[in-house]
Chain A
Amino acid sequence: MNSRVGYIAFNTFREAVRDRVLYNLIAFALLLSGAAILVGEISIDIERLVVVNLGLTAVSLFGVVIAIFIGIGLVSKEIDKRTLYTVLSRPVRRWEFVVGKFLGLTGTLVVNTFLMAIGVFLALLYVAHKFEKMDVWVLVALYFIVLQFLIVCALALFFSSFSTPLMSAVFTFALFVIGSLAEDLRGFARITQGVGGWIATAIAYLVPNYSALNVISQVAHGDAVPGRLILYNSVYALLYSAMAISGAVLIFQRRNLK
């Protein structure tokens, strides 16, 4: 990796840690340990399901919130503090700045997810007293969640490259909601005729498909995730985030920072 991109990524990670982003782990730990202990008392026979469903949902939602709220400020904060001018006055290209910021934020989320994953597996061990073969699929679901973060981070960065932080947050969150309902949108496009059908199909394929990346319910029941889905989702997430980052770079290159 380009060393300048690496430095920017590392500094973005360091800044996020300094901003106490990882404090969310405390809330996560409390939530999960509370659920693991309490659910056996208030429900029947779903201890493992709750740990997987709640654990992975929390990993996903905490991560998405972090991705949105840090992602939207990555560029604007640097402009407000005028640190961007210092960075760009050095031999750093604008695309390197954008890519570095993206990698730094996704790196933060990967570390965060890794720590949360440890929590999920500890809670699983607590309720089931042992690991089972099917727990491997929980790792796949976590991997898909990381792919989801790649897209959210890329989109947050894309919107923040031309919009205010508030509007960027609104756009990114709206796309998260729409993308989570992508299956419905595709179904709607299928039954719509004429121009409306074309437009709906175009939108359905343009918005990020987060629903394909959500296999939480499936792995909670111990169902296997097909290898082909893992491959396609990986390719899709990489391509989609590359698309959004390219857009962010294109806009940022043309942006008048004076």
Chain B
Amino acid sequence: MSARRRANLVAIAVLLFSMTGAMATLYAIDHLRRGSVAQEALYVRSSRVLRRMSLGYTGLLADIYWTRAVQYFGERHHSGSGDFRLLAPLLEVTTELDPRLLPAYQFGANFLAPKPPSGAGLPGAALALMKYGIEHNPDQWRLYYNLGFLYYTELKDYGKAADAFAQGAKLPATNPFMPILAARMAQHAGEFDTARMLWFTTYQSTKDELIRHNAVDHLLALQVDEDVTRLEQVVEKYRDRTGRLPASMGDLERAGFIHGTPADPKGHPYKLTADGRIEVQDPQNIYFITKGLAPGVAPPQPRPAAQPDSK
């Protein structure tokens, strides 16, 4: 073997060895410093400083920060951690770098507002984010919709929800459901119908498959909640009439309260428990339900909840 060839082989061996070694070491470092990466990514919290550091290329930096926020939330949500303390600053920096980045408001508020484990449990921060978004994008009906949604679902402030929907309804480019939602909020009527309308608006105002799936999941959950509420009322009526609880759905049918065996949207018949409650057979299959669950069973949360996108 010539000296040159030998040198080449040694160089290749050293290259492969050091490359593998460097990767393995980095892997070990990552494990050692788990959890600190996100902190460091936010070392610069001032959007003013970042704006200057970006030399005017703020759009790209905002995209990077938004992606970081999505990753941060997804990671924490997936791991079941209730610690979302960097989420609000990440979203603040993102929207200050690019105040017109609509997904950051729409999804960001939905990451912030719901209680853990669905979200960060920071409705105040979500509200501030939405208001900042509306201030910089006053012509976007979706932001008023998101604000109304936030007031309705998280803060239970129907008056302010009505105001938000009404303001969005006044815009030249709006959604036909906005004035109806405003009216419903003002009347504070028909909880299920209103919620259904909100999720239907979410469904039809987006092309994003993830959001559509999420809206469908919520619509199915609403259907279950409504069915269970109605069936439990029927059980009450049966008890009032007969003085005892029904032993089965058949009793309710024979008494003329229902026709056939009622089933959930996935086709599984509802169960009637001995103490007169209605339960779904497979609660892990229907996300977001609040009724029809066995005592102590929490509804599964499939993925971060979402609202309409900017399309």
Q: Which residues of A contact B (CB under 8 A)?
A: 39, 42-46, 49-50, 52-54, 57, 60-61, 176-177, 180-181, 184, 210-211, 214, 216-217, 220-221
Determine which of B55, B98, B101, B103 lies in contact with A177 in the assembled complex, contact meaning CB atoms within 8 Å. B55
Task: Tell me if B63 and A49 are in contact (CB < 8 A).
Answer: yes
Q: Residue A46 contacts which of B55, B56, B66, B306 (CB distance < 8 angstroms)? A: B66
* B52 CB within 8 Å of chain A: yes
A51 CB to nearest B CB, Å: 10
Contact of B131 with A by CB under 8 A: no
Given A43-B71, A46-B67, A61-B57, output 13 extra A-B contacts at Cβ < 8 Å. Answer: A39-B63, A42-B70, A43-B70, A44-B309, A45-B107, A49-B59, A49-B101, A52-B59, A57-B59, A180-B55, A181-B52, A217-B62, A217-B98
A61 to B71, alpha carbons, bound, how many Å?
A: 27
Partner of A214, one of B52, B57, B106: B57
B83 in the interface (beta carbon within 8 A): no
Q: Which residue of the partner chain A has the closest CB to B56? A: A214
Q: Which residue of B lies closest to A35 (CB)?
A: B63
Q: How far is the CB of B62 from chain A (nearest CB, A)?
A: 8
A57 vs B62: C-alpha distance when bound (angstroms): 13
Q: Given A177-B55, A180-B55, A217-B98, is A42 in contact with B67 using a C-beta cutoff of 8 Å?
A: yes
Once A46-B101, A46-B103, A181-B52 are accepted as A-B contacts, the answer to whether A216 and B57 lie under 8 Å apart by CB is yes
> Could you tell me the dominant secondary structure of chain A's interface residues?
helix
C-alpha spacing A133/B208, complex, angstroms: 21
Known: A42-B70, A43-B66. Is A57-B103 also a contact (CB below 8 A)?
A: no
Which partner residue on chain B sits nearest A216 by CB separation?
Answer: B59
B: number of interface residues (CB 8 Å): 25
Contact among B58, B59, B103 with A45 in the assembled complex (CB-CB below 8 Å) = B103
A177 to B54, CA, bound (A): 10
Using A177-B55, A180-B56, A221-B100 as known contacts, say yes or no to A50 and B70 having CB atoms under 8 A apart.
no
Which B residue sits closest to A217, measured CB to CB? B59
In the complex, what residues of B have CB within 8 A of residue A60's CB? 57
**Are A44's CB and B70's CB within 8 A?**
yes
List 25 A–B pairs whose Cβ atoms lie within 8 Å, in order of A's numbering: A39-B63, A42-B70, A43-B63, A44-B103, A44-B309, A45-B107, A45-B310, A46-B63, A46-B103, A49-B59, A49-B101, A53-B63, A54-B60, A57-B57, A57-B59, A177-B55, A180-B55, A181-B52, A181-B56, A184-B52, A211-B56, A216-B56, A217-B100, A220-B59, A221-B100
CB <8 Å contact, B60 and A53: yes
Complex interface: chain A residues within 8 A of B58 (CB): 217
Check A54–B63 contact: CB distance below 8 A. Answer: yes
Q: How far is the CA of A61 from the CA of B60 in the complex (A)?
A: 12
Chain A nearest CB from B240 CB (Å) reads: 50
Q: How distant is the Cα of A52 from the Cα of B66 in the complex, in angstroms?
A: 15
CA distance A172 to B208 in the complex (A): 45
Whether A42 and B71, one on each chain, are in contact in the complex, defined by CB atoms closer than 8 angstroms, is yes
CA distance A54 to B16 in the complex (A): 32
**Minimum CB–CB distance for B41 against chain A, Å:** 14
Contact status B70-A57, CB under 8 Å? no
Within the assembled complex, what's the spacing in Å between the Cα atoms of A169 and B67? 34
Q: Is the CB of A50 within 8 A of B52?
A: no
Q: How far is the CA of A39 from the CA of B103 in the complex (A)?
A: 14
Which chain B positions have C-beta within 8 A of A46?
63, 66-67, 101, 103
- Please, how many angstroms separate the alpha-carbon atoms of A42 and B57 in the complex? 21
